[in-house]
């Protein structure tokens, strides 16, 4: 039963605003498929592509929600990431042990463009040159205080200030190249990405949204990928208020079978929602507590639902296996619905009674197991 559940996780999401389809023929020469990892970024999720050890070529057909989908290759420590410039194209990748400096390489590929390459990308080169000071400060913060990012207010404040300073420099440069899709992608990944560390600052998010709408052309902003950026920022500007003793908002997820998960008027005594991702260390640290709850309370008393905002469905599946998360799961592709709740920072735990009222809510940090147990044991 659980194996069937995991297979069903591979089913595509039904969430679409409009889409295109890309068809790639990836030719491999001298490549051991078992050592090759290929990721396809469709604008919402970064998908790991399964490669068999003996594959001489791979035919890849995917839905894309962006005008420039991305593909990346990882092999023996080498990593390359490219824009795909045409929806129908061939990509050639090679491995030659006699090329000492760069044995893994791509060649004769006119329809893909390197992304983060300082040699060919003048925008990226300017960004890296201008951000040296902030980059050093960030490295120092993570090296010295990485474990305190969510618990130490002084560290969080320092991180916020450095992140905002770096973002300001990035945005000044990107505004000079608004029609280059690299600028749009950099804003999405490298400016908005670090704002996960900046909480409860609607004024700052408003400034980012104004910049986004006034800088980038409509052809980027009106794509599914572009609309998702607006949605995320709007939810940060006007977040949904999740509070104990308040009803859960009427936002419903689908499980991996495609069935809607209902929170209100349920036969179970309580429903626990765990918003997590495989890359989130604090999320993984609280899994043993969730397993303990699963062991101590019957499914009639407590329904546990894991809601992942992973960008990579394969990592999501593997993490469920590795961590023995044997409860209901939902893959919130691209974090679309989670962000509608304002859950851009994880972990989040929401415990509901059978009427859909929030009886326990935790944002980050360790769970208060004593409090949760007391609630679940109430008549």
Evaluate if residue 137 carries a pLDDT over 50: yes
Note if the bond before 120 is cis, omega within 30 degrees. no
pLDDT at 3: 35
Strands (E), 224-364: 253-254, 260-261, 270-276, 302-308, 328-331, 348-353, 358-363
For residue 95, give every residue at least 6 positions away whose Cβ sits within 8 Å of its Cβ, in sequence order, or none. Answer: 29, 30, 31, 32, 75, 103, 104, 105
CA distance 177 to 180: 6
Length of the chain: 379
CA distance 53 to 51: 7
Share of the chain above pLDDT 90, in %: 47
Q: Looking at the DSSP assignment, which residues form a beta bridge with residue 41?
A: 46, 70
Give pLDDT tens digits for 76-101: 888 999 999 988 899 999 999 888 88
Evaluate if residue 4 carries a pLDDT over 50: no
Evaluate if residue 143 carries a pLDDT over 50: yes
Tell which residue, 2, 11, 1, has the closest CA to residue 331. Answer: 11
Task: Show me where the domains of the chain are located.
Answer: 14-114, 122-237, 253-376
Distances (CA, A) of 242 to 70, 246, 247, 324, 343: 35, 7, 8, 28, 10
Out of 71-80, 144-153, 264-273, pick the least confident: 144-153
Give pLDDT tens digits for 177-201: 999 999 999 999 999 988 866 767 8
pLDDT average, residue stretch 102-111: 88
Q: How many CB atoms lie within 10 A of CB 348?
A: 22
pLDDT at 159: 85
Distances (CA, A) of 330 to 83, 340, 351: 30, 15, 16
pLDDT average, residue stretch 15-28: 75
The distance from CA 151 to its chain's CA centroid, rounded to whole angstroms, is 22
Asked if 188 contacts 227 with a C-beta cutoff of 8 angstroms, the reply is: no
pLDDT average, residue stretch 205-217: 97
pLDDT at 270: 92
pLDDT at 150: 66
* DSSP codes, 143-179: HHHGGGTTT-HHHHHHHHHHHHHHHHHHHHHHTTSTT
Q: Tell me the CATH number for domain 253-376.
A: 3.40.30.10
The token pair at 335 is 């974090």
CA distance 10 to 223: 24
Give pLDDT tens digits for 298-325: 988 999 999 998 877 778 888 899 999 9
pLDDT at 155: 81
Q: How many CA atoms lie within 13 A of 277 on its CB side?
A: 18
In this structure, are strands 302-308 and 328-331 parallel, antiparallel, or unpaired?
parallel
pLDDT average, residue stretch 210-218: 97
Model pTM? Answer: 0.70
| Owner of token pair 């303990």 | 292
Tell which residue, 51, 17, 59, 57, has the closest CA to residue 34. Answer: 51
Q: Tell me the CATH number for domain 14-114.
A: 2.60.40
Q: Coil, strand or helix: which one is 301?
A: coil
| Sheet strand arrangement including 46-49 | 46-49, 36-41, 70-75, 78-84, 112-114
Evaluate if residue 106 carries a pLDDT over 60: yes
CA distance 313 to 324: 17
CA distance 201 to 322: 36
Share of the chain above pLDDT 70, in %: 93
CA distance 138 to 141: 5
Distances (CA, A) of 15 to 19, 96, 242, 258: 10, 42, 24, 11
């Amino acid at each position: 039963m659980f194996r069937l559940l995991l297979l069903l996780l591979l089913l595509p999401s039904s969430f679409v605003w409009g889409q295109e389809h890309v068809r790639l023929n990836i030719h491999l020469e001298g490549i051991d498929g078992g050592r090759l990892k290929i990721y396809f970024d469709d604008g919402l999720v970064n998908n790991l592509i399964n490669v068999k050890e003996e594959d001489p070529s791979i035919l890849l057909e995917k839905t894309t929600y962006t005008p420039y989908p991305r593909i990346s290759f990882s092999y023996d420590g080498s990593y390359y990431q490219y824009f795909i410039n045409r929806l129908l194209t061939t990509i050639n990748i090679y491995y030659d042990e006699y090329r000492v400096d760069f044995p893994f390489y791509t060649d004769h590929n006119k329809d893909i463009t390197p992304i983060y390459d300082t040699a060919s990308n003048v925008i990226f080169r300017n960004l890296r040159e201008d951000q040296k000071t902030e980059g050093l400060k960030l490295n120092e913060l993570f090296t010295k205080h990485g474990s305190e990012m969510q618990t130490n207010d002084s560290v969080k404040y320092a991180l916020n200030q450095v992140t905002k300073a770096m973002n300001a420099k990035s945005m000044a440069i990107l505004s000079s190249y608004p029609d280059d899709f690299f600028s749009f992608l950099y804003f999405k990944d490298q400016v908005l990405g670090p704002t996960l560390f900046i909480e409860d600052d609607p004024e700052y998010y408003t400034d980012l949204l104004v910049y986004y709408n006034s800088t980038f052309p409509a052809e980027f902003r009106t794509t599914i990928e572009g609309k998702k950026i607006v949605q995320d920022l709007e939810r940060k500007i006007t977040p949904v208020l999740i509070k104990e003793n308040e009803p859960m908002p009427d936002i419903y997820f689908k499980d991996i079978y495609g069935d809607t998960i209902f929170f209100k008027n349920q036969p179970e005594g309580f429903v626990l929602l765990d918003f997590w991702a495989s890359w989130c260390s604090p999320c993984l640290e609280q899994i043993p507590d969730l397993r303990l709850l699963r062991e101590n309370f019957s499914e009639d008393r407590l329904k546990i639902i894991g809601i992942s905002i992973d960008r990579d469905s394969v990592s999501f599946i593997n993490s469920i296996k590795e961590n023995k998360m044997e409860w209901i799961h939902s893959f919130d592709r691209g974090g679309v619905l989670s962000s509608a709740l304002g859950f851009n920072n994880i972990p989040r735990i929401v415990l509901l009674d059978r009427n859909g009222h929030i009886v326990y809510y935790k944002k980050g940090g360790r769970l208060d197991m004593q409090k949760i147990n007391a609630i679940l044991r109430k008549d």
